[in-house]
Structure 1
Amino acid sequence: MTTDTDEPLDFEYEDPPAISNKKKKVIGLDDLLNDFHKENKKVTKRSKVQKAYDSDDDIDAREATFHNCVNEFQAKMNQIKADDEMPLWGLQVFGYQKTLPKLDFPELKRCRFLQSFLKNELNSLVELKTDEGQSFLQGLLKDGWLLKLISSHGQLERSIAKWSFNMLLYSPQQQLGAAACSFWCRILLSKTEIDLQHFEIEWLPDYSELIRALDVYGFLLDAPSKSSSSMELDHLDSDSSGPPQNIRSWIKFVSVICKVRNICSVFSTEEVEDLIVVMICMFMDRQLLGLSLILDECLHSLISFFSDSEFDVSCVKIAKSLACRLATDISCLRAVDSISVLDARSKRLKSAVAFEFLVACFDSKVSDAEGILKSIIAINLRDESFDLQKMYIYLILVENWLFCDPMLKDNPELIEMWAVCLRNCTCQISSTDLRSYALKVRNKASYLSQGNAKKWFLESGN
């Protein structure tokens, strides 16, 4: 089939598009100039009206009102910010350290253990001299051989005991101090083992040795200084300031010596009471946060030291001592919180400490449960001059005081008074109150109220 290539194409049959004869209007310079003059007149007219409206006095008045609104808004924002930023807890309990005592012990040359080694045939290989005895013992201590040799010897002589304990407390070499701590802990704990019950220890450190070490460390026993809000770490680059590295060994030794009370008791109940206060004060130092675990272990070891009859009396003494030493601010909440609840004793101590802080909050004007709760109920929380931070502290202290003591948390009268305290906090403080701590108090009270409601619901059997 052939196709004629000369035939026209399809689109060639279509009609050509119509061409509009309408001409566009040409805008000339005269038209542009007229539009410009019209627009300029409108702008000039608006400016005259605005100028007539805005006199100098009106502008100043509006600016002053604007600035007042900005300042008022900024003040409210500062209040909210202050409420959100709770001050840090903490106290500086370690000041500047004193000069460490000398660690030379001439009496080591005459100790029976070292003399027996010098006379041993093996010494012909080592060729140890008497003057090198202390360095030799340090090497044995670091390598762990001293413990093995002393254990096989069956006796820890007085001179070696005093020397190794001083290494534990005062050695500037961290490895040597840690080795001495491990040596003493193993010796004391091994006394509980059957095969070493007849192991003789000629000398044991007492309370005075430990307190003397704290004094050298710069521990501020009776007057911890500087709250965390004012504490500056500007002097901590000095070698003689801040907590010493040996404090870790000190804490571990105290923990272990209390665990073996039935075998080698070196403390009285009054001394252990003081040590518990010292331990809780150490919880207050933020520089010791890394030691929280061994501090907690030591605290519970000290608590377990007492017999049941002793603890009831000592618990109150410890709480009163802490309330006398620490201020009733945010830091006192840390003191209560540092007592972790593991058993009935720790609960009892936590409750007693919280109660004594509450008594101190009211300047000892009230000293019984009903009096404290009535004093809190009587507070007018709508009073703008009342510091709501105090109420926040009261809420947490009462919570720990009541619910850590089984005799109190089941008292219906006290629980009802506590419920009134919580209702006051939620009713007298509005959700729009911008005072510092207002939202924290309201939210805390609401949370505790829910806990109370749940407790009553479960007890009612519904």
Structure 2
Amino acid sequence: MVLDEPLDFEKEDPLLATTRPAKRKKAIGLDDLLVDFFATGKDELKAAGVKSKHGTKGYNSDDEDNKVTEKEIKFCKFVEEYEEQSKEMDAGDDVPQWGQRIFSYQKSPPVLSATEVEKCQLLQSFSSDDHLGFDLNIEQGEGFLEGLLVDGWLFKLVLLHSSVEDSIALWILTKLLYSSNEKLRVAASDFWDSILSLNEADKLLVDIGHFPSYSVLKSAVITYGFIFDNQTKVSTSEDVIADDGPPQNIIEWLKIISACCKIRKVHSIFSSSEAEELLVIVISFLLDRRLEGLLLTVGDCLSSLILYFDTNEWEHSCVTVAQSIAQRVTLDLNCLRIVDCITGTNCRSKFLRSQLALQFLKISFGLKVANVEKILKSVTSINVKDKECNFFSLYLYLVLMDNLLFSSDAFRDKHTIINSWRNFLRNCSTQIGCTDWRLYASKVRNKASYLLQGAILKRFSGSVSLPIQ
């Protein structure tokens, strides 16, 4: 029986008797399809189509790589050209941070003899007292006093006698200024702060014959390495000598000055000129980055010195201090640091802040006389659209001028000056584009907008004069 022939019942049924299509004898394999493809020449037609699509030269991956490399080279050249143009816009691309050398290398503390304190009456009374239960040798006197000082008994004994001997006062002051023992110098500082306090009747608690003098305090700060030379101006924080660290006795030095200033009603320890020099020294401390952790202590001492002057002395002394500081501090972020750190809200602190800004601007514009009108005209004449505009200097001028005009009440009623300044701030905030990438351009625009809002608020709120304390 042939497999392809119809079955018997299919022959009888007329519907199934129709002719069926011939079946393939076997399935076509993948190899047969490939043979048929190459036999018909379809591979050549496909290759010809690719050739006609990519041109006469055909497709080459090396050409594409070369095109990408050329684009990368063009982009790198564009970036280099833009960087060069940015440098030409402002050569001062590296603005140094605030920070100035205040202390150089520390000197060795003076070696003082303890024979005077060993002969004081207090030790003599202990040596001759039979009720102590032990014999106090004269050689053990200083160590015995140190124990009394640290434990607080020395102050109680002084209160009991209502006076402090000059030898003991000098000895404790020396420990305060030069001792390397932290407990001893802290106890000495607490002792002096206590005996320089006033009672309810505004009188000293004990009689003091030897007060800390300016010469002793100046000698101590020189030993700490303080630089008194006004010509030494180092504005980068990296130049600050960090080998020795901050002077270890500087906290006690600041506290003893604060304590001396608080008894001005009873006893004037410093003259006005000496207080001026101390104020210059303490303000200079604000520029030493190693003393950032002592800002509260520095601020307390600064406030005490500002309030130390009499009312009739302050105006002249303030100008003298501002001139001295302006000669010491560089005209960069350091001068803004000084002005911003004078944070007192009383009239004296505001006047000092205004005078500092005035002296910095005077030196910046090379004026022999501090003339506010000339300074304002010089600042407002700066064209922010000029390609040669120094935006960093303009940023300094904005901050200093705002402190000059609004820190004190001297210019509150001068509407011409205030309106001229507000118009300039408005121009700076609107004429500097957001896409201006020149150095400090965006900071000038933002600072001008901020100061303009503050100037408008100050205009409507007015000013309240605080009494000088």
TM tier, smaller: 0.7 to 0.9
Equivalent residue in structure 1 for 2:35, among 26, 30, 34: 30
The CA deviation at 1:196 is 7.0
Query: 1:397 and 1:163, CA in 2 relative to 1: closer, same or farther beyond 3 A?
Result: same
The whole-number CA distance in structure 1 between the counterparts of 2:206 and 2:95 is: 54
Q: Does 1:222 align with 2:229?
A: yes
Provide the residue aligned with 2:104 in structure 1: 95
Provide the residue aligned with 2:141 in structure 1: 133
Query: 1:59 and 1:141, CA in 2 relative to 1: closer, same or farther beyond 3 A?
Result: closer
* Greater helix proportion: 1
8 Å contact from structure 2 (residues 189, 256) kept in 1 = yes
Partner amino acid, structure 2, of 1:154: S
Partner amino acid, structure 1, of 2:192: W
RMSD: 3.4
Q: Does 1:440 align with 2:448?
A: no
Moved more, 210-219 or 112-121: 112-121
> How many aligned positions are there?
433
Select the structure of larger CA radius of gyration: 2
Gaps of 5+ in 2: 1-22, 463-469
The whole-number CA distance in structure 2 between the counterparts of 1:280 and 1:32 is: 95
8 Å contact from structure 1 (residues 83, 438) kept in 2 = no
The whole-number CA distance in structure 1 between the counterparts of 2:170 and 2:319 is: 35
Provide the residue aligned with 1:10 in structure 2: none
Query: 1:43 and 1:138, CA in 2 relative to 1: closer, same or farther beyond 3 A?
Result: farther
Provide the residue aligned with 2:193 in structure 1: 185
Query: 1:272 and 1:54, CA in 2 relative to 1: closer, same or farther beyond 3 A?
Result: same
Query: 1:35 and 1:277, CA in 2 relative to 1: closer, same or farther beyond 3 A?
Result: farther
8 Å contact from structure 2 (residues 89, 388) kept in 1 = no
Query: 1:55 and 1:184, CA in 2 relative to 1: closer, same or farther beyond 3 A?
Result: closer
8 Å contact from structure 2 (residues 303, 344) kept in 1 = no
Provide the residue aligned with 2:172 in structure 1: 164
Q: Does 1:145 align with 2:153?
A: yes
Query: 1:295 and 1:305, CA in 2 relative to 1: closer, same or farther beyond 3 A?
Result: same
Provide the residue aligned with 1:354 in structure 2: 357
8 Å contact from structure 1 (residues 168, 177) kept in 2 = yes
Q: Does 1:111 align with 2:111?
A: no
The CA deviation at 1:200 is 1.5
Gaps of 5+ in 1: 1-20
**1:255-404 pair list within 5 angstroms:** 255-364=258-367, 367-404=370-407
Query: 1:429 and 1:83, CA in 2 relative to 1: closer, same or farther beyond 3 A?
Result: farther
Query: 1:99 and 1:198, CA in 2 relative to 1: closer, same or farther beyond 3 A?
Result: closer
Deviations 1:403-429 (A, max 9, x none): 111121332011011013213323442
Query: 1:192 and 1:121, CA in 2 relative to 1: closer, same or farther beyond 3 A?
Result: same
The CA deviation at 1:158 is 1.1
Moved more, 77-86 or 90-99: 77-86
The CA deviation at 1:58 is 7.9
The whole-number CA distance in structure 2 between the counterparts of 1:393 and 1:224 is: 22
The CA deviation at 1:122 is 2.8
TM-score (normalised: structure 1): 0.84
Equivalent residue in structure 2 for 1:68, among 63, 77, 89: 77
Deviations 1:369-402 (A, max 9, x none): 1111100111222222232100000000011111
8 Å contact from structure 1 (residues 79, 436) kept in 2 = no
The CA deviation at 1:73 is 5.3
The whole-number CA distance in structure 1 between the counterparts of 2:82 and 2:116 is: 76
8 Å contact from structure 2 (residues 233, 329) kept in 1 = no
SS at match of 1:385: coil
SS at match of 2:238: coil
Partner amino acid, structure 2, of 1:127: D
The CA deviation at 1:318 is 1.1
Q: Equivalent pairs: percent with the same residue?
A: 40
The whole-number CA distance in structure 2 between the counterparts of 1:70 and 1:50 is: 32
SS at match of 2:144: helix
Q: Does 1:213 align with 2:220?
A: yes
The whole-number CA distance in structure 1 between the counterparts of 2:29 and 2:64 is: 46
Partner amino acid, structure 2, of 1:376: V
Partner amino acid, structure 2, of 1:210: L
The whole-number CA distance in structure 2 between the counterparts of 1:119 and 1:136 is: 15
The whole-number CA distance in structure 1 between the counterparts of 2:154 and 2:236 is: 47
Query: 1:243 and 1:31, CA in 2 relative to 1: closer, same or farther beyond 3 A?
Result: farther
SS at match of 1:407: coil
The CA deviation at 1:30 is 3.1
Provide the residue aligned with 2:467 in structure 1: none
SS at match of 2:54: helix
The CA deviation at 1:80 is 12
Deviations 1:55-113 (A, max 9, x none): 99988865542222232455689999999996421212011000111243111121111
Partner amino acid, structure 1, of 2:105: Y
Deviations 1:310-329 (A, max 9, x none): 11111111111111111111
Partner amino acid, structure 1, of 2:277: D
The whole-number CA distance in structure 2 between the counterparts of 1:306 and 1:280 is: 16
The whole-number CA distance in structure 2 between the counterparts of 1:46 and 1:405 is: 80
Partner amino acid, structure 2, of 1:89: W
Moved more, 250-259 or 61-70: 61-70
